Copies of this chain bind each other. A is one copy, B any other.
Amino acid sequence: MKKIITISRQFGSGGRAIGKAVAEKLGIPCYDKEIIERVAESSGLSRDYIEATGEYSTHRTWLGRALSTTHAAGTLNNEDLIWVEQRKLILNLAEKGACVIVGRCADYILKNRSDVLSVFIHADDKSRAERIVRLYGERAEKPEKRLKDKDKRRSAYYKYYTETEWGVASNYHISLDSGALGIEKCVEIIACAYGDSE
């Protein structure tokens, strides 16, 4: 029986909404923004800063991140500190019981547990662009550019801290195209997979 669902998602794919709806359907908690609150509390860093750097690299490639001069040898910078705190928190949440965890490399952090169902949500650029404009409004930057930039930085963050490729099907139990399937169908599929899987 799977207890914990981790949801990784492309920006604008509706992964967060799917996570919430799955949790509601299954009657278990969903951790998303709550993680930011708690890491802010334990690290003493601001919520905005954690939201901006807790799963987005400040560089657009993992190599840029790796070669960053803000890192002195053998020291932790603020991004590393957030990673360490988030990791501890996610390990603790998983110990507490059944839940959904959105983003923050939870799939990787919990990969040694056998009771995790790891999900990746993606969608075509057109659906995602429409979604981010509907949810977050227009910006000076075109939505396609915002998608590309966020995905690049999420991917670089993931690769830097996990040494694994983001968005490769074989790294997840289930990957779903929310643009083609629709949000509700994704929720149904995840609940079905969670149901009585081994």
Could you tell me which A residues sit within 8 Å of B by CB distance? 10, 117, 120, 122, 167-170, 172-177, 180-182, 185, 188-189, 192-193, 197-198
Contacts and interface: CB of A to CB of B under 8 A. Distances in A.
B180 A173 contact: yes
27 contacts: A10-B170, A117-B180, A120-B169, A120-B175, A122-B169, A122-B170, A167-B169, A167-B170, A168-B168, A168-B169, A169-B175, A172-B177, A173-B176, A174-B175, A174-B181, A174-B189, A175-B175, A181-B193, A182-B197, A182-B198, A185-B193, A185-B197, A188-B192, A189-B189, A189-B192, A189-B193, A192-B192
Contacts of A173: 176-177, 180-181
A181 B114 CA distance: 11
A87 B193 CA distance: 33
Nearest to A124: B170
Contact of A177 (B122, B174, B180, B185): B174
A33 B35 CA distance: 50
Residue of A117, A169, A182 with most chain B CB atoms under a 10 A cut-off: A169
A10 to B, nearest CB: 7
Contacts of A170: 10, 122, 167, 177
